Chains A and B, each alone.
Chain A
Amino acid sequence: MRPLFKLIFGLSPVLLWAPILACAAGSTPHVESTVLRNFGYVIGDLVGYDVLVTVPDGYALETEHLPVPGPLNEWLDIRTVNWTKADTQGGTQYRLRLTYQIFKGVRQPEKLTIPALPIRFRGQTQMEVQTQPWNIAIAPIIPSDISDENIKIPESVGPEPLPIGPHPLRFTSYLAGALAVLAILALRYGWLPFFAKTTPPFARALRELRKLNRKRGDVEAYRAAVRLLHRALDDTAGFRLFAGELELFLAAHPAFAELRDELNHFFALSRRVFYTAPDAPIPADSPLERLETLCRRCIAAERRST
């Protein structure tokens, strides 16, 4: 009985691990690798390598263990490492796509071995699979009977000149068009306060008055002209200026003081035209020219005061 006990005791760790090992054995990862070709490479070529690993459920790729892009050995670099994951019936399928670059200068065609790549998975236990090392053939890029020194590398071909003439022109015209539209919109919506400020009220009024000159003799145009002067006075005063406040205005704007009589006349005229005798014709003593002259004198006063 003693040897039997010894045997059982001796085997007990194996027996205890047996189900786990059996389970692991029943779920061996499946590795399948694809290469485009393994011949016809020269120095500097990129070599693509696809690995398809199917692992049982519950295992996940240890991405920290994947090789990082960089030199692998003295003649082989890894340029890119990509992977994707897909769930299949038999387990999880990982597709790794690696790109190597060869930096080996050879004199004769040679066989190179790309080393095996360990891939680790994390699950109940850690699992590692190895890809098979594989061979590729590499050829020299210069004939074997010519020495390196005799190889002349011609100058790089300069770029072909493209006609770019129309482009700056087109760009300038688009830019000018956009600016013009913006300027029109800005004027229309009064986004240009500095414009309004730089043109003093009476200078603006005179510009509008000149337009009314064409309709000389028309009562409505005449009233519009009186209104224009009213608005220019309002803008200068900063509030709606009425006849009763004229002295206040003159005190605040002494440059206009010499126009006192003319301004008083203007207010009396406005009262007559708009309120006390609205149906009467244009007053003979104050034709449109007189309003224009007043406007010009106001512009002079405006210039003196700034």
Chain B
Amino acid sequence: MSRYDKDSLLSDWRRRALSFEQEIGNAVIGLDHAIHQITLAVFSRGHVMLEGDVGVGKTTLLRAVARGLGGAYERIEGTIDLMPNDLVYHTYINEVGKPQVDPGPILKHGEQLSVFFFNEVNRARPQVHSLLLRVMAERSITAFNREYFFPHLQVFADRNRVEKEETFEIPSAARDRFLMELHIETPRDPALRRALMFDPRFHDTDRLIEGVQPGVLSYRDIADIARIIQVEIKASDALQQYALDLWQATRRPQDYGIKIDGVDMRQLILAGASPRGMSMMLRAARVSAWLNDRTALIPEDIRQVFVDTTAHRVFFNPVYELRRSDLVGELMNGILQRVAAP
């Protein structure tokens, strides 16, 4: 592919990405940050975990994303008695009275599957988490004596943070495979809140989703364009140093003068961000640079994705893990405020 073709391809896709963002923003209001980050995740080929309160629009957002991407969409609800097999096949007695085995939600659409939404993932058992782990890491699954591949699959999971009973915390290995963990909150803007309450447009979700233009991005081509983006966006030495400093700061925040009230910084961190996490962060940052029409990374690209790609990969000592939701925000802010660039 010539230089000109590449450039025009990239700018063409940039336009489509921006209109994708806009289409979803029309349907789901007040979640601009989440929509932008999901767009970055789509082009980084990464899976996304959503966490938030009940009824803030997580499912609506994902349905809109799935429609914008095109391809098949499947969702499953995590429950305590859900078993891995329930995802893979489905057994029943058919209309002629014979037992029949059909492919389950994951296999049903074969390679067409583009968005798989696992609702309330922390209600599912660890066996299901490990299946999910494989699907996310390898985009493949073994069933009916053969391997199935899902080259276009993007997994979205949702974790309800209100209840803790009958839930299974997702193992750190599985969390690490999510590119981003996004926190979805109720919009703060009173005008948006008023619209959500009184505008009938937002009361009928199905209709709202139908308003999204289907297949703004063609899901089949995303893998290729994602590869080109990663190759085309350059990172200078100074930027690499900044990314390295950020990584080191997640491991030894005390070296960067980061302080949190009432926390012994030397004791806080059990494990800092993983190398996989850092490579994912850079992938997302490159997409951010591309969306901003740049060919080189700048620190702002990394800062744009740092918290969402890194916060869930830092593990605290058990004594601080209970206060995680408070501490992790302060730690991430501290890192962004203390690590210098250039």
Q: Which residues of A line the B interface, CB within 8 A?
A: 223, 226-227, 230-231, 234, 239-240, 242-244, 270-271, 274-278
Contacts and interface: CB of A to CB of B under 8 A. Distances in A.
Contacts of A230: 340, 342
Given A231-B340, A240-B339, A276 B238 contact: no
A240 B342 contact: no
B228 interface: no
* B contact residues, range: 10 to 19
A276 B238 CA distance: 10
Interface string B324-342: 0000000000001111111
Nearest to B301: A275
Contacts of B166: none
Contacts of A223: 342
Interface string B221-252: 00000000000000011110000000000000
A56 to B, nearest CB: 70
A226 B341 CA distance: 11
Interface string B282-318: 0000000000001111111001000000000000000
B335 to A, nearest CB: 10
A235 to B, nearest CB: 11
A203 to B, nearest CB: 20
A244 B238 contact: no
B238 A275 contact: yes
A227 B342 CA distance: 6
Given A240-B337, A242-B303, A276 B298 contact: yes
B297 A240 contact: no
Nearest to A276: B296
A151 B298 CA distance: 105
B340 A275 contact: no
Contacts of B336: 240
Contacts of A239: 337-338
A230 B341 CA distance: 8
Contacts of B236: 274-276, 278
A276 B300 CA distance: 12
B300 A270 contact: no
Interface in B74-126: none
A198 to B, nearest CB: 21
A224 to B, nearest CB: 10
